[in-house]
Structures are given as structure tokens and as C-alpha cells.
Amino acid sequence: MIEQLRKDFPLLHTHIEEQPICYFDSAATTQKPQSVIDAVNKFYQQENANVHRGAHTLSAAATTQYEAVRTKLADFLNVTSKEIVWTKGATDSLNLIAAGLSEKLSHDDVILISPLEHHANIVPWQQIAQKTGAKLEVLPADQQGVLDLEAAKQLINTLKPKILSVCHASNALGNIHDVAALITTAKPYNTITIVDGAQSLLHLRPDLSAMGCDFFVFSAHKALGPTGLGGLFGRYELLNDMPVYQTGGEMIERVSFSGTTFRDAPGKFEPGTPNISGVIGFGAALDYLNSVDAAALSKYEQGLYHYLLSALKAIDGIKVWGDTEHNIGVVSFTYKDEHHFDIATFLNTYGVAVRSGHHCTQPLMEHLSLSGTVRVSLAFYNSYNDVDTFIDALKDTIDMLEE
Amino acid sequence: MDITQIQNRLNSLNGWQAKYREIMLLGKKLPALPEALKIEDALVRGCESNVWLHLDLDESQERLVIIADSDTRIVKGLLAIILACYNNLLPQEAKQVDAYALFEEMGLIQHLSPSRGNGVKAIVERIQNQIDAFQ
């Protein structure tokens, strides 16, 4: 099955340093199937027109296609299409939400996040907290970088936060969070709950109605889609209640020099010409995801993850960080006191692409007393052969470092 | 090894595995900077990893003495190459040396990530600026 699927991803058949590529940086961005690349090409070659304007055939067809993807995504997430807003990406979505909710915050209100958040789910809240006088508080995690769920629930009960914003899965360590449990705990306090799904959309295919969150953000390029596109889900009353974020064309209802009225959500959050080709490419990505057996892929990914994990743990001096029981397939590791950059640079000479550094989670790295890690992030298109190549390359690298 | 020997050695090696290994070995030969000298003032801005650099004149007050260290082995190796370019030169001689251009010539800049390339540039600029301060 996987050998067949790998054929759909042209980049997996290219070379780095004259060696076949082993792409282990899918948490940064996933590779794209040919159907996504073709959809973007076809759009520019045959269908290009602006949306929501013009009475001509091309514009009408582009608008229909563009809106159909919104519906497709809403179905994928089990919500309604008017609750989906297109943005530039998860970061943009979080900034939009933070700005939109700032009016609801007053002095001494609590914004609660986890210690595993990406900077994009820290800094916007920090900025809003500074402006409003609200307090930014952090859930507890252990020395391995695993959220303490029971202590987290207790803290929610104590702090009764106005906003709770946590990642569904950690980009740095891969930990999966029981966000549904956190949301349920926060419900009695009318907490507005936000889930950063940048890492979970592809691996966990969340059902947002079941999850019960108020907002959910994602980036298309981390789920087989094009870069420069993301989006958010917002529970409609809350979403539509938020003030506009950016203003301009398309999002208005009526403009005069004495004043302007805005469209309802989602339109009011989509000013200017949107990323039409991105949306259409992402539509092809969703078609791809809908066409494969999700349960089988998930099982395969988990099998591959545990294969990688046990091979790594068998190497003396390797330390793997994070939750290895509930994980989307990200292994973040260190080797003795060796610098992550040296390891990643040597691995690259073997055609192995991994990420090294703090992964935009500096507070987490500080919590773990690390300057960074080497991160190997899997996707269903990785093979067991990829993992073997990586382990061999890592052993050579270690020999070289120990020389 | 002087800089010409380093250059010849690196040019003779095939493939980046061998080259990086050699660069790392050069770094290993560079004495570690005592912790007391790893101070904020010695940090070179614009490097992705930590680079500490001190520049002074030798006992005769004539020739350059540069000592430097990094927390990554490869960057330390790159530092060893840069130091081989400048150490023991008269300041006016060192002004004529562009280690960055030498890195380009050896194909190293093209192979480093853009941020590492900028790091090399920042180290060379720091050395040149400190030489200016002597003159």
C-alpha cells in the first residue's frame, strides 16, 4: 500500500547529496501529491479568475470551486462551512483570534496555554495580555515534556480561565494532548477554547463537533496542501461576534465615506483577493486524504514510529524526549552533549532531511534545559527503508563525532 | 596546518561527508575557550549557534592573536579555518584578507545553509572591525 502511495509524491523520488532523499521533516511541511500540484497548475492554466466578483463564466466557476473546498473542509472537520475562515496559515489564524477576542478580556482574566506551545500560540496571547492586563498562565508538564493531565485539569478548575489555547499535538515532541478532556473541564467556566491543530489535521483527522472546541486552527501545507494557506474553524456565534481583523475589499457589505458595514462571517475575515489557487490545491489534498484508508494509514504510521523509536533507543547515548505513548510520529532526540546542528548537518550528507533546533518552542526547550533537539517527523509516505537509512546514517554520524 | 594546507586538504577530499569530517577535525584541534572567556561581549551577533571570539595583539604588539570557540563542532571547524586566515598576520596584512571570499572559493558558502553563510560573514566582519579599532 505504502509503496503505491509513495509514487504519488514526486519529491520523494529526488536526491540530496546524490543520495535518495529520506524526508523526515513533515512536521515542518509535508510533501505534496501529484494531484495537488496538478490542481494548482490546472487552475492557472485553465481556470484562473478572481472569486466573488464579476458575472463572467470563469469567475463564477472559480467561485464555485473555491467555496466547494470550504464545504469539503467543513465536512472533513464535521462542522458547517460558514464556520470556516481561510487565512494565510495557523499563525495568521491565531493572531486573528487573539485580536478578535481581546475585547472580551479585562484586567485579571486568565489566558491559559500549555508549555508545549509553538511560539505562534504564545506570542499573540502575550501581546494581548500586555494590552488588556490579562494574565498568561501555563499548564504543568513533567521533566520529559509531557503534559500532566490531572494537574492541568486541577489548574483549569482553580484558574477558571477566560481563554484556553492548547495544541492538539506538539510540533516539537509529537505528544498528542487529550484536548477533549481539557475542554470538558473548562466548559463550566464558559472558557473560550482554542485548539492549535497545525500538527493534528493530517495525523489525527479531528472531529471538531466531538472535540467541542470553540476555535481550531491549521495550516494547509502541513496536510499535503500548498503553502501560504491555512484557516480556522470558529463556533459561529463566537466567530461572527468578533470584530474584523483586517479591512479592505471583498469583506465589506457597503462602504461610503461616512461609514462601512461589514459582511457576516466568514466573509468579514477574508479581506482582499484570497489565496484561490491555494484553496483549490488544498481541495485536491482533501480529496487525496478522503481517498485513502485513514485507519490503515494511521496504523502504518504508528508501526513505523515504534520501529524508529526502538531502533533509536537501542543506540547508547540517545535520549528521546516527549510522550512516546501518545504520539503523532515525531521523535525529538539528543545524543549526549552533542549539538543538534552537527548531527543534522552530517545526516544531510546521507540524504536524510531532519529538523534541528528549538522548533519555535523556546519556552519548552528551556523547560527541558535543552538548546534544541534533532527532530525526525514521519508521515505515512515514509518507508521502513527510510528509517533504516536514517539509523545507519546516524550510527556513522555518531562514530564520526566520537572520533 | 596553514590556510593553504587546509585549502589543499579540503579540495582533495571527495564528497561533503569527508569534507565536514575534516572541518570537524580542524575544530577539534582548536583549543577550547575557557568558560571565563565565553562572555556576552565576545559573542558574535548574527550566528545561529554561539560563537565567542577574542582578538588581540601578541606580546610584541605587532601580530594578531585571535582565539574563538563555538558550541557546535562544525562551526568550530569553520572558525579554525577563519583563524588560520588571520592569526599571526600584521593588522595591515589582515585587512587585505577576505576569509569569506576564500570560503566561497572552496565552495563552502554554497553548501552551508544561508544562515550559516551569514554567520561566517558576521565573524569575518567582526574580525575586520576589531582590527580597525587597533589602527
One digit per residue, the tens of pLDDT, for chain B of length 135 reads 899 999 999 999 988 899 999 999 999 999 999 999 999 999 998 777 899 999 999 988 899 999 999 999 999 999 999 999 999 999 999 999 999 999 998 888 888 878 888 889 999 999 999 999 876
| Of residues B16, B25, B48, nearest to A17 (C-beta) | B16
> What is the rounded end-to-end Cα distance, in angstroms, of chain A?
41
DSSP bridge pairs for A217 = A196, A232
User: Which of the two residues, A402 and A32, has the higher pLDDT score?
Assistant: A32
Name B109's Cβ contacts closer than 8 Å, sequence gap at least 6: B100, B103, B117, B120
Question: Is it the case that residue A52 has pLDDT exceeding 90?
Answer: no
Q: Going from the N-terminus, what domains does chain B have, and what CATH number goes with each? A: 3-132 (3.90.1010.10)
Interchain pair B20, A349: CB under 8 A = yes
| Of residues B20, B21, B49, nearest to A339 (C-beta) | B49
| pTM, entire model | 0.94
Cβ atoms of A65 and A281 within 8 Å: the answer is no
Interchain pair B25, A403: CB under 8 A = yes
Q: Is B72 on the interface with A (CB under 8 A)?
A: yes
Cβ atoms of A365 and A358 within 8 Å: the answer is yes
B72 chain-A contacts, CB cut-off 8 A: 339, 341-342
Confidence band for A123, pLDDT divided at 50, 70 and 90: very high
How many contacts (CB atoms, under 8 Å) link A and B?
A: 32
User: What CATH class is the domain A2-24+293-401?
Assistant: alpha beta
Distance from CA of A339 to the nearest CA of B (A): 6
Domain spanning A37-290, CATH architecture: 3-Layer(aba) Sandwich (3.40)
The set of cell numbers assigned to B94 is: 589582515
Distance from CA of B29 to the nearest CA of A (A): 12
Distance from CA of B130 to the nearest CA of A (A): 28
Each residue's pLDDT tens digit, A232-282: 999 999 999 999 999 888 788 888 888 888 899 999 999 999 999 999 999
Give φ, ψ of A138 to 5 degrees.
-125, 135
The residue ranges of every structural domain in chain A are: 2-24+293-401, 37-290
Residues 22-61 of B with CB under 8 A from A: 24-25, 48-49
Residues of B recognised as catalytic = 47
Give φ, ψ of A25 to 5 degrees.
-130, 40
Name A364's Cβ contacts closer than 8 Å, sequence gap at least 6: A115, A116, A117, A145, A170, A172, A173
Interchain pair B24, A342: CB under 8 A = yes
Interchain pair A342, B21: CB under 8 A = no
